[in-house]
Amino acid sequence: MTVYQSNFSVGMDGWYGRGDAVTLTPGLNWLKVEGRKSSWHSPGRDFDLTEGCPYQISVQVRQDEMDSAEMMLSVAHTLDGKETYENLARAQVKRDAWTTLQCTYTPGYYEKFVLYVETVGAPEMSFEFRLFRLEAPEGSEAAQAVSQDTGAQELPSLKQVYADAFDFGCALPGYAVNRKEVRELFLEQFSILTAENEMKPDALLDVNASRKLAQEDETAAAVRLDRARPLMDFAKANGLKVHGHVLVWHSQTPEAFFHEGYDTARPLVTREVMLGRMENYIRGVFEAVEEMYPGLIVSWDVVNEAIDDGTNRLRDSNWLKTVGEDFVARAFEYARKYAPEGTLLYYNDYNTAVPGKLKGILDLLQGLLPEGNIDGYGFQMHHTVGYPSMGLITSAVEKVAALGLKMRVSELDVGIDANTEADLRRQADKYREIMRLVLRFRDAFEAVQVWGVSDPMSWRSGTFPLLFDAGLNPKPAFFAVADPAGA
């Protein structure tokens, strides 16, 4: 288990300069090391290590002064007043690339231990380091001793940072609950969960059972929660809220849903049949969820992405073909009819900040308001550092807010071109600006949810868009979200 990790979000955390001239300056989640005059001049920290315990030690280092420089992770240990040294790990660190130094270290009997990072040659080279992590076998005496004695920093908890304003949550795929480290991180950081795919129509609609029922009643729709249950069980066991995603969508909905007898070889059904299927499906979802998980789902995306990017009108979908232009209104009517009291009902869409698309979305929302069945709008903010601008994003939020609807950032991520320090800082800046904007409208926002836990788990993994990296380490973006008022 991790018994110590530095993130430098609240200062030096016990680290000091080894060598009179060394200065250390904390950044978002790194420490800058400058003023070195010798290779051993370095950042160091005292640790109370347990004899005979096989510790895993790792740290990430970066330099931008040489094409490549060799760096080492070392330990200075003291016994009877005599200090001796061991080099534990070394690696070539290329310019502007975070590189990991890691090793297994089993201490002998000493009175004092100092772990530090140094260079091989390059005595005056400045460098940065971050994510110094010390791990001991779970359940060992060393794990308890080190966690108590080092005063290790804990990461800020996003759900606690925003507890007085709105829920802070995350999308999670079903398989992720099998990973202990993901579960622990989720519970530490997030208060509300969205199933990434497990509650979409292709996961909840039982086509085979519906086909059998359709022999007697063409409007029948059978529902099953099999794929959603691991996530729902996880949420229920840990007191998490759940945001349902999604009831009516043109994508990830079985084609058979729209055809006579649930048979794709047969014609599309009539408007009356499709309205019946829509109502029965929505009723079935609410009944199944409330029977197994009463009160767990606090809100739903009732309709998702109905506006077309090209025409800025209703997209040409099977819902439009079978039901007609009022299919969105009817979906909200049925959702309101069967949703438990207090459940918030949202329309959810992307590219809200694009002016043409925004007009189409606003027209749709304004048309829904008179019936009184819609509660809010969900902003899918799948952005990049360069687009859309904060001016466009701000305008979109202001115009939706003017309708008097509740709001949520339903799907947040910010892509970058490359996983470089410069891009990571630009990414952090964009996240910070988005959170500042949301806080301006904090009374209207119900939640902010990032779309995934770590970069490799993202549907946009090639753009490194999330708050945690492949090792579940917090990125600069995480600290920007945790302290949006900071510089």
> ∠ at Cα 451 (449, 457), nearest 5°?
145
Residue 361 lies in a domain: yes
Is 305 an annotated catalytic residue? Answer: yes
Average pLDDT score, the chain: 92
Query: What integer pLDDT is reported at residue 51 of this predicted model?
Result: 87
Write phi, then psi, for 75 (nearest 5 degrees).
Answer: -135, 135
Q: What is the CATH number of the domain that holds 96?
A: 2.60.120.260
* pLDDT tens digits for range 237-253: 999 999 999 999 999 99
Query: What integer pLDDT is reported at residue 153 of this predicted model?
Result: 56
Indicate whether 31 pLDDT > 90. Answer: no
Q: Which of 135, 198, 279, 305 is catalytic?
A: 305
Query: What integer pLDDT is reported at residue 405 of this predicted model?
Result: 98
* pLDDT tens digits for range 203-221: 999 999 999 999 999 999 9
Q: Are 210 and 262 in contact (CB under 8 A)?
A: yes
- Residues 199 and 115 placed together within one structural domain of the fold: no
Q: Are 118 and 91 in contact (CB under 8 A)?
A: no
Greater confidence, 59 or 19? 59
Indicate whether 295 pLDDT > 90. Answer: yes
Indicate whether 389 pLDDT > 80. Answer: yes
- Residues 144 and 163 placed together within one structural domain of the fold: no
Residue 426 lies in a domain: yes
- CA 92 – CA 101 distance, rounded (Å): 9
**Maximum C-alpha span of the chain:** 89
139 pLDDT band, cuts 50/70/90, is: low
Q: Which of 92, 121, 149 marks a domain boundary?
A: 149
CB-based contacts of 135, cutoff 8 Å, min separation 6:
1, 2, 3, 55, 56, 57
Residue type, 29: N
- CA 42 – CA 59 distance, rounded (Å): 14
Indicate whether 22 pLDDT > 90. Answer: no
The percent of residues above 90 in pLDDT, for the chain, comes to 78
Place of tokens 């940065």: 128
Q: What is the CATH number of the domain that holds 408?
A: 3.20.20.80
What length is written for the chain?
A: 487
Q: Which residues pair with 377 in a beta bridge?
A: 347, 407
Q: Which of 288, 302, 198, 214 is nearest to 252 (CA)?
A: 198
Residue ranges making up the domain that contains 95 = 2-149
Query: What integer pLDDT is reported at residue 33 of this predicted model?
Result: 92
Structural domain tally of the chain?
Answer: 2
Q: Which of 411, 421, 433, 446 is catalytic?
A: 411
Query: What integer pLDDT is reported at residue 322 of this predicted model?
Result: 98
User: Is the Cα dihedral 175, 177, 183, 187 positive or negative?
Assistant: positive
148 pLDDT band, cuts 50/70/90, is: very low
- Residues 332 and 406 placed together within one structural domain of the fold: yes
Indicate whether 486 pLDDT > 50. Answer: yes
* pLDDT tens digits for range 398-442: 999 999 999 999 999 999 999 888 899 999 999 999 999 999 999
- In the predicted model, what is the mean pLDDT of residues 84-93? 92
DSSP H helical ranges for 155-245: 158-161, 180-189, 201-204, 207-213, 229-237
297 pLDDT band, cuts 50/70/90, is: very high
Indicate whether 152 pLDDT > 50. Answer: no
- CA 6 – CA 189 distance, rounded (Å): 17
Lowest-confidence segment of 51-55, 248-252, 305-309, 341-345 by average pLDDT: 51-55
Residue 487 lies in a domain: no
301 three-state secondary structure: strand
- Residues 400 and 267 placed together within one structural domain of the fold: yes
Is 83 an annotated catalytic residue? Answer: no
Query: What integer pLDDT is reported at residue 9 of this predicted model?
Result: 59
Indicate whether 7 pLDDT > 80. Answer: no
Q: Which of 149, 173, 194 marks a domain boundary?
A: 149
Query: What integer pLDDT is reported at residue 81 of this predicted model?
Result: 86
- Residues 246 and 319 placed together within one structural domain of the fold: yes
